[in-house]
Chain A
Amino acid sequence: MSAAELTPPEAARWAARAGLDLPAERHAAVAAVANHIHSVVSVLRELDFADVPPAAAYHPVQEKHDAAV
């Protein structure tokens, strides 16, 4: 296991920081899936982005939304 991988207790703590309480029996499985996702997406760190901005889809004219603030 590399130092970048989350242990089950670390996964539980990270989830708690995100406001998500994970039952103890899910810690190991969530850690394993999170580590797999991390191994896939971390390859993007190889790219030299220079000044490239993120691509986001939005309209400059404000839309109306239903959600309460």
Chain B
Amino acid sequence: MQPYELSLAAAADAIRDRRLSPVELVDSVLDRIEKAEPHLGAYVTVAAEQARRTAREAEHEAVHGRYRGPLHGIPMGLKDLIDVDGMATTASSRVRAGHRAAADSTVAARLSTAGAILLGKTHTHEFAFGLTTPQTRNAWDTGRVAGGSSGGSAVAVASGTATFALGTDTGGSIRVPAALNGVVGLKPTYGLVPRHGVTSLSWSLDHVGPITRTVEDAALVLTALAGHDPRDPASLAVPTVDYRPGAGTDLTGLRIGLPRTYYFDHVHPQVETAVRHAIGQLEALGAQLVEVDIPMTRYIQATQWGLMVPEAGAYHEGSLRTVPGLYEEDVRILLEASELMSAGDYVRAQRSRTLMRAEWARMLEDVDVIVAPSVPMPAVGAGQETVTWPDGTVESVSDAYVRLSSPANITGVPALTVPVGHDAAGMPIGMQLLGRPLGEPTLLRVGHAYEQTQPARALATAA
């Protein structure tokens, strides 16, 4: 096994025990980038020399007995919405030409302090306003979409060109690409991870979180990211927690909500089969299944759009007037149309969110976790715009990929996607675990227990 193939936890153990040096690990991942990146297009920028220099410093610290913790010497990618001092934050957009961040975002600073080593910035669907990330190709089949908007981060982690990465999630943008590329993605509770220095798509829906190869890895990254920062007005003042899950797999006493409505409607049969099989594994570990009815399903898309579209329009108001031609057409037209929405539309969506949060809180009194597919279908071919369901319903690919993710953005509850298999074409399938606000320890415990019942997953093979 090459160092670039190691999970974060395995690499951390090897670095701590001095069996692997940060320099060896970073060199291995950079070599992998050189080979795979021309086929995948996951990165906007690779800062190879800076990464090698930081790795030498991390090695020097390790040699002299200064070990920062499990992220010490671990190479990572950051979605290119996340500010790093002195580097451009391009948002994968021509609008940001010449940009240079004046300071680290909170998350970049925390990861740096924890010892992680920046490899580069990963592609996003332009300004995170889309679900495919057309610059990047799926890590399992380069003819298919990466998913988005954190497509570059998910493809990098899946292909071995980053040991972990960060994404952002406004309507599924961590979970969708993670599921489509067969890796783990965590959208934390709204406000748990500070967004200061992260380009916004929609302030009231945006989250930052890890994309990793295992659930345990996601827990290690979350531990470094979480914690209050007053510069993000939504940031929660909660105590710091070590999120690393215990080794046990016994789920006796855990109540798992199995949706009777919404989450299994218009879902590809192979996705449903794989997810229901994984749910059976959780039951075999002792969890009790309890059927639940998802509330207010008729209003989910309306609430998501009613919040996201005007907030995105407000963020881009200035540049839409000065440099509209620099946006890609799909993003530009949504921003233009956003200006025609009324204040009433926006306030209704905010009031609907109040109702939906209350209904979800009631539902989550009865169960510890809700389990569902992450996305309704595996990665589609690049350029495919719609999907037709067996009852004749035609849905846009973007609407389909957002559909099962957005409830957690609207309500702010944490949501974790875990790989649970592949379809007949070899494309990955993800299972979504949703929990109570600040219920990350439970999600991570369940996801980690499931993973321990499965063989270790190999890296993606398309490049």
Chain A residues whose CB sits within 8 angstroms of the CB of B339 once the complex forms: 14-15, 18, 20
Contact A40 to B340, CB < 8 A, known contacts A33-B334, A47-B352, A57-B191: no
Q: When the two chains form their complex, are residues B306 and A26 in contact, meaning their CB atoms are under 8 A apart?
A: no
Q: When the two chains form their complex, are residues B350 and A56 in contact, meaning their CB atoms are under 8 A apart?
A: yes
**A69 interface contact, C-beta 8 A:** no
Query: Shortest CB–CB separation between residue B395 and chain A, in angstroms?
Result: 13
CA distance A36 to B45 in the complex (A): 36
Residue-wise interface mask of B (323-355) relative to A, using a CB-CB cutoff of 8 A (1 in contact, 0 not): 000000000011011111100010111111111
Interfacial residues of chain A within 9-28, with CB under 8 A of chain B in the complex: 11, 14-15, 18-20, 22, 26
CA distance A58 to B233 in the complex (A): 5
CA distance A6 to B190 in the complex (A): 36
**B460 interface contact, C-beta 8 A:** no
Query: Shortest CB–CB separation between residue B421 and chain A, in angstroms?
Result: 33
Q: When the two chains form their complex, are residues B340 and A52 in contact, meaning their CB atoms are under 8 A apart?
A: no
Interfacial residues of chain B within 190-224, with CB under 8 A of chain A in the complex: 190-191, 203-204
CA distance A22 to B345 in the complex (A): 22
**B276 interface contact, C-beta 8 A:** no
Residue-wise interface mask of B (135-175) relative to A, using a CB-CB cutoff of 8 A (1 in contact, 0 not): 00000000000000000000000000000000000000000
**B234 interface contact, C-beta 8 A:** yes
Q: When the two chains form their complex, are residues B348 and A20 in contact, meaning their CB atoms are under 8 A apart?
A: no
Query: Shortest CB–CB separation between residue A9 and chain B, in angstroms?
Result: 13
Q: When the two chains form their complex, are residues A44 and B352 in contact, meaning their CB atoms are under 8 A apart?
A: yes
Q: When the two chains form their complex, are residues A44 and B334 in contact, meaning their CB atoms are under 8 A apart?
A: no
> Across the two chains, which residue of chain A brings its CB closest to B335?
A20
Chain A residues whose CB sits within 8 angstroms of the CB of B321 once the complex forms: 19-20
CA distance A43 to B341 in the complex (A): 14
Chain A residues whose CB sits within 8 angstroms of the CB of B203 once the complex forms: 57
Q: When the two chains form their complex, are residues A30 and B336 in contact, meaning their CB atoms are under 8 A apart?
A: yes
Chain B residues whose CB sits within 8 angstroms of the CB of A14 once the complex forms: 339-340
**B320 interface contact, C-beta 8 A:** yes
CA distance A33 to B349 in the complex (A): 19
Query: Shortest CB–CB separation between residue B38 and chain A, in angstroms?
Result: 35
Contact A47 to B348, CB < 8 A, known contacts A6-B340, A55-B357: yes
Interface residue tally of chain B, by bracket? 35 or more
Q: When the two chains form their complex, are residues B340 and A11 in contact, meaning their CB atoms are under 8 A apart?
A: yes
Interface of B, secondary structure class, is helix
**B178 interface contact, C-beta 8 A:** no
Q: Which of B301, B333, B340, B351 contacts A55 (CB 8 A)?
A: B351
Q: When the two chains form their complex, are residues B305 and A63 in contact, meaning their CB atoms are under 8 A apart?
A: no
Q: When the two chains form their complex, are residues B305 and A40 in contact, meaning their CB atoms are under 8 A apart?
A: yes
Contact A54 to B350, CB < 8 A, known contacts A14-B340, A41-B345, A63-B233: yes
**B299 interface contact, C-beta 8 A:** yes
Chain B residues whose CB sits within 8 angstroms of the CB of A34 once the complex forms: 337, 340-341
**B298 interface contact, C-beta 8 A:** yes
**B309 interface contact, C-beta 8 A:** yes
**B383 interface contact, C-beta 8 A:** no
**B230 interface contact, C-beta 8 A:** yes
CA distance A68 to B105 in the complex (A): 21
Q: When the two chains form their complex, are residues B355 and A40 in contact, meaning their CB atoms are under 8 A apart?
A: no
Q: When the two chains form their complex, are residues B204 and A40 in contact, meaning their CB atoms are under 8 A apart?
A: no
**B60 interface contact, C-beta 8 A:** no
Chain B residues whose CB sits within 8 angstroms of the CB of A61 once the complex forms: 230
Q: When the two chains form their complex, are residues A40 and B354 in contact, meaning their CB atoms are under 8 A apart?
A: no
CA distance A18 to B343 in the complex (A): 12
Q: Which of A37, A46, A58, A63 contacts B231 (CB 8 A)?
A: A63
CA distance A57 to B350 in the complex (A): 10
Query: Shortest CB–CB separation between residue B131 and chain A, in angstroms?
Result: 16
Contact A53 to B334, CB < 8 A, known contacts A30-B340, A37-B309, A44-B306: no
Contact A40 to B357, CB < 8 A, known contacts A30-B336, A30-B337: no
CA distance A19 to B455 in the complex (A): 58
Q: When the two chains form their complex, are residues A33 and B333 in contact, meaning their CB atoms are under 8 A apart?
A: yes
Chain A residues whose CB sits within 8 angstroms of the CB of B352 once the complex forms: 44, 47, 49
> Across the two chains, which residue of chain A brings its CB closest to B348?
A44
Q: When the two chains form their complex, are residues A55 and B354 in contact, meaning their CB atoms are under 8 A apart?
A: yes
CA distance A29 to B191 in the complex (A): 37
CA distance A5 to B204 in the complex (A): 28
Chain B residues whose CB sits within 8 angstroms of the CB of A59 once the complex forms: 230, 233
16 contacts between A and B (CB under 8 A): A15-B339, A20-B336, A34-B337, A41-B348, A44-B345, A46-B298, A49-B352, A49-B355, A52-B355, A53-B354, A55-B204, A55-B351, A55-B353, A57-B190, A57-B204, A63-B231
Residues of B within 8 A of A (CB): 190-191, 203-204, 230-231, 233-234, 298-299, 301-303, 305-306, 309, 320-321, 333-334, 336-341, 345, 347-355, 357
